[in-house]
């Protein structure tokens, strides 16, 4: 259960573009340098973000990437889904092997129920966060996190 490189850098690139403000744009070399990844790799990641509909690209001189929508309309959960897929999806149980009593896939499996619960917990946080929320400093973000109803908010406070 790790973040993939796509997820880690993809989200950071998106935040970086968001920092450029309404209509502001950044080029691949700029993003690349800011995030400390190679231009080639940045291009690869930005392609995913573009295909996901989160950024728009302008070619040619004076080109660059800009947000496809206002930051508050970009839900982080959707971004992560585009960059790295979900932890648990319905087809998950079609792909793994094992027949007997536990994982009869689609009949009766307590493990599946647990994964589903974890996915719900993750979604609960990521579906509430928008890019707008990430365009603030860590302290403000921590305050925001505490506003999430439920444990994620509560326990972060310690």
Partner DNA sequence: GCTAATCTGTACTTTATAGTCAAGATTGCC
Partner DNA sequence: GGCAATCTTGACTATAAAGTACAGATTAGC
Q: Which does 44 bind (CB under 5 to 8 A by kind): DNA, its own copies, ligand FES, none?
A: DNA
62 binds, among ligand FES, DNA, its own copies, none (CB under 5 to 8 A by kind): DNA
Of 60, 73, 78, 82, residue with least CA distance to 18: 73
- Between CA 78 and CA 75 the distance in angstroms is 6
In the region spanning residues 13 to 42, those forming contacts with ligand FES, defined by CB under 6 A, are none
What's the CA gap between 157 and 142, in Å, rounded? 9
By CB under 6 A, which span of 41-49, 64-72, 107-115, 126-134 interacts with ligand FES? 107-115
Residues 64-83 that bind DNA (CB under 7 A): 64-65
The contact pattern for DNA, residues 28-47, with x = CB under 7 A and - = no contact, is xx-------xx-xx-xx-xx
CB of 140 to ligand FES, least distance (A): 14
3-state secondary structure of 135: coil
3-class DSSP state for residue 104? coil
- Dihedral (Cα; 21, 24, 29, 30), 10-degree rounding: -40
Helix axes 39-51, 28-35, angle to 10 degrees: 110
Residue showing tokens 């993750």: 122
Binding site for ligand FES (CB under 6 A): 93, 96, 103, 105, 109, 111-112
Binding site for its own copies (CB under 8 A): 1-4, 7-9, 11-12, 15-16, 19, 34-37, 76, 80, 84-88, 96-103, 108-118, 120-126, 129, 133-142, 145, 148-153, 155-156
């Amino acid at each position: 259960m790790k973040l993939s490189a796509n997820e880690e850098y993809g989200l950071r690139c998106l935040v970086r573009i968001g920092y450029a403000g309404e209509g502001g744009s950044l080029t691949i070399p700029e993003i690349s340098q800011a995030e400390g990844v190679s231009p080639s790799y940045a291009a690869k990641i930005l392609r995913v973000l573009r295909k996901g509909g989160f950024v728009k690209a302008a070619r040619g001189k004076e080109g660059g990437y800009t947000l496809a929508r206002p930051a508050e309309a970009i839900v982080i959960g959707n971004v992560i889904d585009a960059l790295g897929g979900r932890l648990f999806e319905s087809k998950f149980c079609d792909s793994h092997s094992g027949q007997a009593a536990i994982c009869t896939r689609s009949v009766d499996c307590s493990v599946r129920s647990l994964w589903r619960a974890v996915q719900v917990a993750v979604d609960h946080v990521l579906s509430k966060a928008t890019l707008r929320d990430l365009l603030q400093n860590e302290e403000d973000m921590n305050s925001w996190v505490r506003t999430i109803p439920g444990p994620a908010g509560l326990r972060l406070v310690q």
